[in-house]
Structure 1
């Protein structure tokens, strides 16, 4: 549980430092890993603003894409303001817990299903940190109002709908979920 606590604590600290009057409409969690290796995950926590959305719209993006697609996010939304998981404390907590869950393997070993299970676990950690931001009132405390946390995995773009749905109160992501692939197909 130490890794979950580490990511959650860092998320709280990062969001606490966001400027209240900057027009932030979403907190962003970019889920990634070093060299696409799930043994070395990190989350870049950032935000995007109304001004960023207006700029993306002015360059030709449709309204949903300008507001919610990570392809249109500014550096603060895509790269985040800080990454969590690669720093010494986070990497050590992750490795220890991965080992205790029997998910760690060394280079040259056959990972079996460990890769998939590591990704699923990291998704759970990120969703848990985002839910904590809502349930503890940290987002409202920091920004003066509730805003959604948009989680997106750089290697599984469609997972963002499931992740965002699990991490946010439904009322905060209604507009975002309007473009969910199952919704678009109907």
Structure 2
């Protein structure tokens, strides 16, 4: 499966950009830690709460981090709840200064979709304007879909297994949307890879 680029070698779609760029991100993970990584993390966030500037931080959690954080009686909380995970210092992709190619392609794409809007971001303005509120919802869904599709692609194309020597689950989450990660992660992975994660979610009453 190949990702599409235009005649200048630039990605045709934002998803094409994510697919190509994520390969490099995974390859740059520290080699010494790769054997103890048990899950990848796709942390979705947005700059200053503005859905026009979303990004995904592509990271991981390790067995060592799990052992540091675990406590007696833990029933999977520490292993699968991102609150206990490594979250800082990871590369980010999206409409942010750290990803200039992604920013250009993203803005062009959402403009063509008709959901971009101009002007300074003001949460009150967005909440009071039905049109802006609808655009914001569509922007968020567009990014969610791209990130979930990215995870599915990295599995289907064998990128994860090739990079780490084994398949790893991708845990997708947005701290602004509690509970959503159960559904996002389920859609993002082959079922057998997230059996333990989903069992913990059910036990925790999240699904």
Q: Same fold (TM over 0.5)?
A: yes
**Larger displacement relative to structure 2 (63-72 or 103-112):** 103-112
Residue of structure 1 in register with 2:91 after alignment? 82
Q: Which has the higher contact order (CA 8 A, sep 6+)?
A: 1
Residue of structure 2 in register with 1:50 after alignment? 63
1:14 aligns to 2:35 (yes or no): no
Contact 2:41/2:60 (8 A) holds in 1: yes
1:91 aligns to 2:100 (yes or no): no
Query: 1:61 Cα shift?
Result: 8.2
Residue of structure 1 in register with 2:158 after alignment? 137
In structure 1, which of residues 127, 131, 134 is the aligned counterpart of residue 148 of structure 2?
A: 127
Residue of structure 2 in register with 1:174 after alignment? 195
**Larger displacement relative to structure 2 (172-181 or 138-147):** 172-181
Contact 1:26/1:49 (8 A) holds in 2: yes
Q: TM-score, normalised by structure 1?
A: 0.89
SS of equivalent to 2:60: strand
SS of equivalent to 1:47: strand
Partners of 1:165 and 1:57 in 2: how far apart? 24
Q: TM-score, normalised by structure 2?
A: 0.81
> Number of residue pairs matched?
182
Q: CA RMSD in A?
A: 2.1
**Structure 2 unmatched ranges of 5 or more:** 1-11
**Larger displacement relative to structure 2 (7-16 or 158-167):** 7-16
**Structure 1 unmatched ranges of 5 or more:** none
Residue of structure 1 in register with 2:179 after alignment? 158
Contact 1:29/1:80 (8 A) holds in 2: no
Contact 1:42/1:84 (8 A) holds in 2: yes
In structure 2, which of residues 60, 78, 84 is the aligned counterpart of residue 72 of structure 1?
A: 84
Partners of 1:44 and 1:164 in 2: how far apart? 15
Query: 1:46 Cα shift?
Result: 0.6
